[in-house]
Structure 1
């Protein structure tokens, strides 16, 4: 697919746009010359009448479409004709419409919920845990972490635990403040930055793999005129290019506004986990649902038994013992997620609620950001960017108008001659 680079203010017109303008204008001039030649030769042969009719109608069609295309971006010939210079006069409305399109198709909680129903998050996690990429390095790193934790615990207390008490202890434990404190500590030491980087890269890969969904959505919602002129494909390209640029900017700029919003959201989540009763209740409810699931309970009890048997061996030789054990535990969790539909539903429900909550909390802010950004652009900047982006395709309208107009004029002349 050809690149549709967004031109900056002051950029010269792209060579492809200049070339298509010359072709469209050259065709119009050629029709004018052909009309003059045919008019001068009208008495020589009757066939020149058909040529004159074609050229005359082609000039009318070409001029009409030149006026229509030019009127989008400026006043034709500098004349202040009403309903021309449409883009400059409606810059703010264009920004509001683009923001509304983004909101109505991507950021409404009901839309997010409907699309999240088609995504099996738990199954994807299960497949990753059952067969993760770079398995050895991941498992060994996690094994060393678990071994360090086990070595730091009171072995007598840990050894006195029984497997039947494990679920009860977890049930009574208020884990929300612990999660909040851990998240606070991670943010304070900037340990969350690699996670944000990985998330942004994942978003970029996901966007690249699902570009066709955006194209299909724009094509389905575009009007017949936009589809006929190919503007729906151009709009889809602009949306996709803009999203790719947004993801790239977030990956490269630690101070990007959306990245700062994400960090603010993490800080707010850490605070809510510790002090917000509603959030703590949600976490408690989710924990209870997970513990009440029979498959999850069996997994917890089995993991505890294996942990108890392998504890001393793990402390003595973490690389040899824990790599195999911890890998088995992760693989078992992944297989459980793939096989247990009830557990998958619970996790998917949580993921759906989280996505819907994010859309509800931050959707309006993103919409305002898009609208305010377009409103803040200089009128000349907006006009130049849009014209450089879609102007090449609009020149095809001029060419088609010239040729179609000529054919219609020729057809009318033939009918008039026959009658």
Structure 2
């Protein structure tokens, strides 16, 4: 932004300098006219000032006529740029298309470039210098800002809706049946059965009081009066513990066989029984439609998003470090593999040619229409800001060159 303000200021300073030189030549011309008889050199000064005024005025008129009407007078062929704004826009667009955006030009220019190697060397360089830290910090901040810009609730709802739609289309029962069949065939279900038996034993142990109370309540008054209900409760609990221990220790226990038969039947029904499959699908859909699942998912998503943002902003590692290391590895491969460079360059060239072929006309139309939409003052100010300083040098040079020509003519006139 500072550079944008600097150029108009420098152009304005040069304009004042050129105008000051012109005013100085006019003053010198008037002053020397009063002392022509004092010394022959005064004539040379007057000739210099006179010709410098002519040259300076001529170049002032030429420079001014490019951008506006000199002194506001409707002189023909002045204010050239504002009057021909549309033609300039079309010329710029045609120049851009003819010299940059034709497929042949793009292909020729791209063929002279090893874009893949240049990109590879740049990506590989961060590992050796401070660029890596800047790239890592920039990548981390970009990822964090992107995640922060997302509406958590809206995006979480959209993601949940997408996952729900995918899950609704997938029939879960056959998948569960195949997984269970494969697990039984490979005997990978046995540790699960052992875990279920242990869990049953721990559950009974944790709820012994509740079981005893249930037995006491079911026993009649005589049994309670004789104290047999307590013995009955102990017998029931001891029998359960013994049964679970035997099932856990004996791989050939009949109860294990019953469990295996039950699992095999369940796997078969999941694969082949329409009623079982319908029940599983209904349970799945009920679960997906449950508001509690939606609330749970939003909480999961928000924790995941917050974790990613925190990881992205971790200095010296985390997600930015992973991204940077991946880019560095990619850069090393690009920089050191000519065959990969050839493939990437070919892809880049074809992509650029395709863009030029498909969108070249739209790009140049965009340039032309943009310039056409500018008002004349905007075009004038932008061009004058870009080249105004050099144009003031033309005025200054015209003043000096005109003065030198005037001195030369005066000298020749004095000699001959």
Larger Rg: 2
Category of TM-score, reference length = shorter chain: 0.3 to 0.5
TM-score, normalization: structure 1? 0.47
TM-score, normalization: structure 2? 0.48
